[in-house]
Each structure stands twice: as C-alpha cells, then as structure tokens.
Structure 1
Amino acid sequence: MSGFSAFIASPWGSALAIAAMALITFLCRIGGLVLMSHVRITPRIERGLRALPGSIIVATILPAALDSGWPAFAALGAAVAVMATTRVDILGLAAGLGALSVIRAFL
C-alpha cells in the first residue's frame, strides 16, 4: 500500500473526508445566501420559493412511494388530508406513518 493509500485508509483519512464534506456543505449553504442576496425578490420569485419545500418533499417521497405500491399512496393520502385540514406538519407526518404502520400490520 502506498503512502497516500495508507493515509486515506487511516482514521485521519476518514477525519479528512468528514471535514471536507462539512466544508463543502457549509460553502453550498453560504453560496446560496450570497447568491440570493443579489436577487430582487418579486412576487413571482417569492411564490416559487414558498413552493420549493413541497416540491423537494414530493421529489424525495414519490420515487419511494412508486416502489412501495398502494400502501405508500394510502399513507400519503392520509398525511396530505391531515395536513390540509390541520395545517400542522407533525400531525400529517404522524398520520402518514400511522396509516402505513396499520396497513403493513394487516398485510
């Protein structure tokens, strides 16, 4: 094993990888703040930014739901229904997880 390979395989290599990932994450977050400080927030951009969290959630959850079939869609329906009526995210999450647990318990 060469010197560089031995370093990467050592605990110091792991610590360096974690530090590099933390730095990159920090720079991405700061870069977004710096970039958005130069953008004039119009009503159209504000609507887009408000819709962004929901879009990210859908993009994250939909592929998993498609793989899991109808139980996942039933749980998503329960979560959406509770969130639409109560406007409390944690209650929607609890309803979705509870519905999925009940469905899986009976399958």
Structure 2
Amino acid sequence: MAAFDELPRVRRGPLDSLYAALRRRAPQLAATRPRDEADGLHVAYRGQEATVVWDGELRLYAWATEPGGQIGSDAEKAAELVAWTLGAAVNSDETSG
C-alpha cells in the first residue's frame, strides 16, 4: 500500500513517552522532540528553558540542564515535575464522575 509507505516511523522511546505526557498534562509548555534520544527533550515555558534526557543506564529521566538531577522513571510523574519546575499548571489525570 503506497499511501502507508509515506507515513513517518512511529516513535516509542522514553522521551517520546515524556513528550506525549507533557502534551496531555501541560499543553501550554513548548516541547521539542529530539531528533536523537541523546539530544534530550527541550522544554520551555514563559522564558524558562530546560532539557530532559533519558539515562538508559539508570533507566530514568534526568535534567541535562538546570536545575540538574534525577527526575524519575515514570513519564506521567516526570511530566508533572517538569511542568511544576517551569511554573506551568498541570492538568489532572483524574476524571470527575
């Protein structure tokens, strides 16, 4: 099927999971997907910028830039922490009902 041959390759790495979580939990953040996992995920909000990387050896997200340190291994929790650190509001994952 020629039409499907043109579709981009599906990304499924840890930084892609974090990117998706950020889009859901803090869509007001500007997040740039890396071309390569080693480049990290660049995030920005209201003049503050940071880069998050995946540490494959420790199997967790970590700051590559300020504020530095480990973030954790869960993409949803990492998205919350990234948003909070940059001062952005986080959408609740819970549904009212």
Higher strand share: 2
The structure whose Rg is larger is 1
TM-score strictly above 0.5:
no
Please report the TM-score for the alignment, with normalisation by the length of structure 2: 0.29
Higher helix share: 1
